[in-house]
Amino acid sequence: MMNKPPDGADRAATPAVHAHALTVRRGTGRHPRTVLDDLAFDVPRGRITGLLGPSGCGKSTLMRSVVGTQAHVTGTLDVLGSPAGHPGLRSRIGYVTQAPSVYDDLTVRQNLDYFAAVLDPGGAAAERRRATVTRAIADVDLTSRSTALAGNLSGGQRSRVSLAVALLGAPELLVLDEPTVGLDPVLRRDLWNLFHDLTATRGTTILVSSHVMDEAERCHDLLLMREGRILAQDTPDALRTRTHSATVEEGFLRLVDEANALTREQTR
Amino acid sequence: MNASRTTTTAGRVLRQLRHDPRSIALMLLVPVLMLILLRYVFDGNPRTFDSIGASLLGIFPLITMFLITSIATLRERTSGTLERLLAMPLGKGDLIAGYALAFGAMAVVQSVLATGVALWALGLDVVGSPWLLLLVALLDALLGTALGLFVSAFAASEFQAVQFMPAVIFPQLLLCGLFAPRATMQPVLEGLSDVLPMSYAVDGMTQVLTHTDMTADFIRDAAIVAACALLVLALGAATLRRRTP
């Protein structure tokens, strides 16, 4: 059941993210490094797309490109119908960086109050902001810790504050860079339930990265990455069937081996 | 720019500071203690205390605000909150004006305290209006904030950021006329001191020290300090990049 798309999701709509010939070079000087190499993929709306691959394969760079905070992006990258980085997108995308980006010397609630006021400024919106903030804190299950300083929270709690910030303003697209790293199994399950709830009830599109393959089973769609390239784009079911594997992890490893064999043949 | 986002940002910066009472105490009390120290260092020479004391009233806010702004914005850069804010609909101007507003407010409190103690408890003899002293102190604080913001872009760690203090502030301190009149310096140094903003901060303070009215020189000095602060703030805004290279 987990992998069925939510009811009412419009499959025919334009994808939330559309990439074609997407290339990113990083580093200055005469030898820039190609971090993303000629990618083409789509992230469908209203679904959870998992971006999986080993550390250092370019997941974070890809996510920054989608959010519009990555420089030296070439090729086509359309997000919610506009080119990535378009100022109009800033209030429509929620973004959680890998390291929790919150103010350690503010309380949970003060952190959220500030970011909410940046998204929805003005005294007239104060009541609406209060409701949004309360809901976001409840979404990540931190209501009992809302008056604690973020710096005094545990690592998992801080990353949930960071996630709550991204949930403010009900963004159409959530870009989550390894949101479950360092969380215990119960919290991980709760967060994944929250993600599914968001897509089902609010129609949110989620692009979530992970290097833990068992989380792949919880996604509707998968983008498997390796060394700056897309290895496969498929649903978990289709991927397992195609690679004759029992798990996504096994399927991924099989694809990696095939790719390696191919490279060896080409270089021979 | 959006006035409400700017004031929200200023409020957030002050709220962060409120959770750090020790920093507030250091910021407010150290200048006062230094002035008291200075007063008794020049116990037998009150005229020297007048001139150096007045100059220091302008220099303290500059140094304090330089330090706290460079560390605060460096933290903002390294903690990822800057990246997050710039991915949100926040203008760079909102962020910078927010910082300038918050630390400007701190500078007003610091200067009121230091000027009050200097004038009424330590007998600093100033001919002009204490309000003009405050005005220069505030402009100096803005300049310090601007320099700190700008410099934080070139520091990769807090360790480097504090090293910028001697690099950026000490030469100005030596050349601003505090230790020797600028006109008596080696001509190259005098020329150099003519283009450093702290020289005008100290000149402005000296004008208030020796004249009852607002002189044309005072207005020029204040305008130069304000213009430098705005210029450096604009340069600082250019160092805030929405995109990671």
Total structural domains within chain B: 1
In a domain, A198, yes or no: yes
User: Within its chain, how far is the Cα of B56 from the centroid?
Assistant: 11
In a domain, B198, yes or no: yes
**Strand A205-210 relative to strand A173-177, pairing:** parallel
CA–CA dist B197, B174 (Å, integer): 13
CA B167-B171-B172 angle, to 5 degrees, is: 115
SS3 A125: helix
In a domain, B245, yes or no: no
Query: pLDDT at position A184, please?
Result: 84
Going by pLDDT thresholds of 50, 70 and 90, the confidence category of residue B47 is confident
Mutate to test the interface with A, among B5, B6, B243 (most CBs of A within 10 A): B243
In a domain, A116, yes or no: yes
Query: pLDDT at position B51, please?
Result: 85
In a domain, A199, yes or no: yes
In a domain, A245, yes or no: no
The predicted-structure confidence for B131-149, as pLDDT tens digits, reads as follows 998 899 889 988 998 999 8
**How does the average pLDDT of chain B come out, rounded?**
90
Interchain CB contact of A115 with B (< 8 Å): yes
B31 Cβ neighbours under 8 A, 6+ residues apart: B56, B60, B61, B64, B110, B113, B114
The CATH number that applies at residue A51 is 3.40.50.300
Interchain CB contact of B1 with A (< 8 Å): no
Which residues on A lie below 8 Å from B83 (Cβ)? 69, 97, 101
CA A14-A15-A18 angle, to 5 degrees, is: 115
Q: In what order do the strands lie in the sheet with A73-79?
A: A33-43, A17-26, A73-79, A82-83
In a domain, B243, yes or no: no
In a domain, A179, yes or no: yes
In a domain, B35, yes or no: yes
- Which 7-36 residues of chain B touch chain A by CB within 8 A? 8-9, 11-12, 15-16, 19-20
In a domain, A153, yes or no: yes
Q: What is the pLDDT along chain A (268 residues), one digit of tens a residue?
A: 444 444 444 444 689 999 999 999 987 777 788 999 999 999 999 999 999 988 889 999 999 999 998 989 999 999 999 999 999 998 899 999 888 899 999 999 999 999 999 999 988 899 999 999 999 999 998 999 999 999 999 888 898 999 999 999 889 999 999 888 878 888 888 889 999 999 999 999 999 998 787 888 899 999 999 899 999 999 999 999 999 999 988 998 898 888 888 878 877 7
Residue with tokens 């409400």: B4
**Cα atoms in the 13 Å half-sphere on the side-chain side of A31:** 0
- What residue numbers bound the domain in which A214 lies? 17-84+102-237
The predicted-structure confidence for B182-220, as pLDDT tens digits, reads as follows 889 999 999 999 999 999 999 998 899 889 888 899 999
In a domain, A261, yes or no: no
Query: pLDDT at position A5, please?
Result: 47
Total structural domains within chain A: 1
- What residue numbers bound the domain in which B54 lies? 3-238
Q: Is the dihedral of CA B166, B241, B237, B10 positive or negative?
A: negative
Average pLDDT over residues B162-167: 90
In a domain, A189, yes or no: yes
